[in-house]
Structure 1
Amino acid sequence: MPVPSAAKPQRLLRFRPLHGVLLLAALVAPLVLTSLAGGSKAFEHVAQFPIGLLVLMIAMAALCWNLNAARLRLMLNGRAGQLGQRGALGIELAAKCALCATPGGSGGPATLLLLLAQRGFSPSKGTAVFLIDQGCDLLFFLLMLSGLVAMSVFGDAQWPHQGLVQLSLLGLALLAVGVSLMMGYLPKLLRTQRQWLAWIRPSRRRWLVRRLLRCRHALRMTLALPKATLAAMLALTTLHWLLRYSLLYLAVIGIGGHADWLWTFLTQMLAMAASQFSFLPGGAGAAEVGVGSLLLPLMGREQAAAAVLVWRLISYHLYLAAGAPLLLFYSARMLRQR
């Protein structure tokens, strides 16, 4: 969970050639992988995708942007001046574009902090807003993971690779429980049990400790919110992710495939977690391969490749296309002010 410093905002205005190369690779990666996996038939499926369903997916993506903008307004609670839905939507799109355009999403939180600072919101308070935002997402996925584990173990869900999925979910659940316990007792562990990190070199150890403490701080700040505010934010978070993770299900339907909605949701959770290990912006490459491989047991290779391509066009490329003009506008305005 990278939390940037807003002390040097000029860093956000620099363009490095390497970033451009990586972004270009991320943009063409879905097309290359689709061509390799499905060939010309995959692109035929994409060309025959129902226009009405495509418009619905775009509308759902736009609704997700507005839900996040409403959540941002709720978190700021009037502390960043008169921020209407349009202004919050502009900040949301610009920050998400920066997140999608940088490796590891490092540009997203930094851009958010800088845009909030332009409205007189101090970097420390902006960092707190970012941490609460991450805490809400983390709470949602912990709850969803718990439900998926219960359904796979005690329910009658019939998923591809049932045994492997159950083991994966149980492993993730145990990991989540272990991390939760560690977060609760983290300060005590760091004071009394220093040897458990002794095998990591000092510089890497400090990096890890900082991020663990920030993650713990995010959860504490989120849970300390007034109950009504926390409930409203969690409701917006839940609706956002349910809509966002329904895009793959609609993409599968549009290319003539058949898959359970819950399976596509689980597919995206696992694949997007794996995409964190990709060095390309937006987790390009890892996300497509992960989702495509989990869809293959349910449909042909050409259909899976086509569904993944449509899904990435809406869930990734559309974010870049919608946010890029706003990011350029805000950057140009800040340069003029400087």
Structure 2
Amino acid sequence: MPRSLWLLPVALVIAASIPLLLGGRGALRELGDFPTGQLVLMLGLIVVCWNLNALRLRLLLAGRSERLSQSRAVGVVMATEFAICATPGGSGGPLTLLGLLTRHGVRPTRGSAIFIADQLTDLTFFLAALIGVALYAVVEAIELNLGWLIGLPILLLGCGLLLLWLMLRHTSYLLRLSGGWLTRLRLGPTRRRRFAIIRRLLSFRRALIETLRLPRHILVLVFALCCGHWLLRYSVLYLAIDGLGESVDWAWTFVIQMLAMAAGQLSFLPGGAGGVELTSSALLMPLIGKHSAAAAVLIWRFVTYYFYLLVGAPVFLALVGRTVIRLLQRRHT
């Protein structure tokens, strides 16, 4: 993770440069006319999102953590979000979350199970939301040649959820299968146990099943908080476009953000820098023009990327800073 943080300045430069190069001075003029009140509203939505995620985390913990108040949970969420934005592919996020939960008395396997349960609710929401967008597109008779924008994410999310379900459902079969493969490689029993990493998933699987067996009303509330978080966060681009005096359906801004964030994973830079800006700009330009598209992308990324880094950095350093410093010191000794 410390090594990944050195990529952050490069990512910040790239993330800002691409929209400015595409939009030019016209984008800067659009930024100057953007209403301050609209920007404050968008930043306020992010603060609400942090609190919704903190409450979701506390519900998933179900009293298993020591002294995790709402304010402490918000700190954990902000530090985790900072780590996600500051590392390639968000790889630092799970590590930060598990480390902070361990400090509050949560075992690593249970912390991993809570993280996966949290991700499952996210995937379920996105799949349901995309199906809703697809129905909307059919009702509104939107051009069919744009159908791939909705169909492809639905297919990928559906396959991902199905694969995860199959792995959890047939863990015993996977264990037998992996053991057979390792036996054919003529490895001794000790090495087979060492290389059969999937066997370590047993305790994690038990913890995940225990988490998913929480009372139904708790799980429903967790999913409702998940929906509230993503609906607010994915309204930021729509509000940015609206503040610029342009008009695009909320459903399309939702799809554009999903595709842009997915493309950002291919850039291998913190926050998906480069891929996110190129994809979102390319999809917005035919709808609102290059100047407004570039300005909208800059505002959207400021609220959902730069703001996370600016506000989350002090919280991250306060909660995790000593650990990072120790890792850096070990590397130089």
Cα gap change, 1:297 to 1:226, in 2 (>3 Å): same
2:258 matched to 1:281?
no
Rounded Cα–Cα distance in structure 2 between residues aligned with 1:319 and 1:218: 30
**Against the structure 1 CA distance between its residues 262 and 114, is the aligned structure 2 distance closer, same or farther, given a 3 Å change threshold?**
same
1:67 is aligned, of 36, 41, 52, to 52
Q: Deviations over 1:57-90 (max 9, x none)?
A: 1101111111111111111122111211111111
The 1:256/1:82 distance shift into structure 2, 3 A limit, reads same
Distance verdict in 2 for CA 1:111–1:191, change over 3 Å: closer
Q: 1:84 aligns with which of 66, 69, 82?
A: 69
Q: 8 Å contact 2:113–2:204 — kept in the other structure?
A: no
| Percent of paired sites with the same residue | 46
Is 1:165 the equivalent of 2:146? yes
1:295 matched to 2:295 = no
- Give the structure-2-normalised TM-score: 0.82
Q: Secondary structure at the match of 1:103?
A: coil
**Structure 2 residue corresponding to 1:232, chosen from 211, 217, 221:** 221
Q: Does 1:53 align with 2:34?
A: no
Comparing 27-36 with 311-320, greater Cα deviation is found at: 27-36
Give the residue type in structure 2 aligned to 1:70. L
| Alpha-carbon distance in structure 2 between the residues aligned to 1:181 and 1:324 | 36
Name the aligned partner's letter for residue 53 of structure 1: Q
**2:295 matches 1:306:** yes
Amino acid in structure 1 at the alignment position of 2:147: Q
State which structure, 1 or 2, has the greater radius of gyration over its C-alpha atoms: 2
Separation (CA, whole Å) in 2 of partners of 1:219 and 1:80:
16
Structure-2 change in CA distance of 1:168 and 1:216 (3 Å): farther
Deviation sequence 1:137-174 (CA, Å, 0-9, x none) = 11111111222223323x1153xxx3232134234434
The secondary structure found in structure 1 opposite 2:67 is: coil
Are the aligned partners of 2:113 and 2:205 in contact in 1 as well (CA < 8 Å)?
no
Q: How many residues align?
A: 308
- CA separation of 1:71 and 1:183: change in aligned 2, threshold 3 A: closer
The separation in 1 between residues aligned to 2:155 and 2:240, in whole angstroms, is: 32
> Amino acid of the residue matched to residue 243 of structure 1?
L
- 2:20 aligned to 17, 35, 43, which one? 35
Residue 286 and residue 223 in structure 1: after superposition, are their counterparts in 2 closer, same or farther (change >3 A)?
Answer: same
Of stretches 239-248 and 257-266 in structure 1, the one that deviates more from structure 2 is 257-266
Alignment counterpart, residue 5 of structure 2, candidates 2, 12, 19: 19
Q: 2:109 touches 2:207 (CA, 8 Å); kept in 1?
A: no
Q: Distance in 1 between matches of 2:205 and 2:68?
A: 29
Alignment of 1:98-117 (within 5 A): 98-117=83-102
CA distance in 2, matches of 1:192, 1:168: 40
Query: In the superposition, relative to structure 1, how do residues 103 and 175 fare at CA in structure 2: closer, same or farther (>3 Å)?
Result: closer
Distance 1:38 1:133, change over 3 A: same
Structure 2 unaligned residues grouped into runs of 5+: 179-194, 328-333
Using the alignment, how far apart are the partners of 2:164 and 2:69 within structure 1? 36
Aligned mates of 1:324, 1:228 — CA distance in 2: 35
| SS of 1:282 mapped into structure 2 | coil
Q: Are residues 1:126 and 2:107 paired?
A: no
1:274 Cα shift? 1.7
Residue 215 to residue 114, structure 1, CA distance change in 2 (3 Å):
closer
Which residue number corresponds to residue 201 of structure 1?
Answer: none
TM-score (norm. length: structure 1):
0.81
Task: Supply the distance in 2 between the matched residues of 1:285 and 1:59 (Cα, whole angstroms).
Answer: 26
Q: Residues 104 and 214 of structure 1: is their aligned pair in 2 closer, same or farther, counting only changes over 3 Å? A: farther
SS in 2 for 1:281: coil
- Which whole-Å deviations, capped at 9, do the CAs of 1:218-237 have from their partners, x for residues lacking one? 98666533210110000100
After superposition, the Cα gap between the structure-2 partners of 1:89 and 1:273, relative to the gap in structure 1 and judged at 3 Å, is: same
Residue identity in the other structure for 2:150: L
Query: What does residue 156 of structure 1 align with?
Result: 140
Contact 2:261 2:272 in 1 (8 A): yes
With 315-324 and 70-79 compared, the bigger mean Cα shift is at 70-79
How far, CA to CA, are the matches of 1:193 and 1:70 in structure 2?
40
Q: More deviation in 215-224 or 61-70? A: 215-224
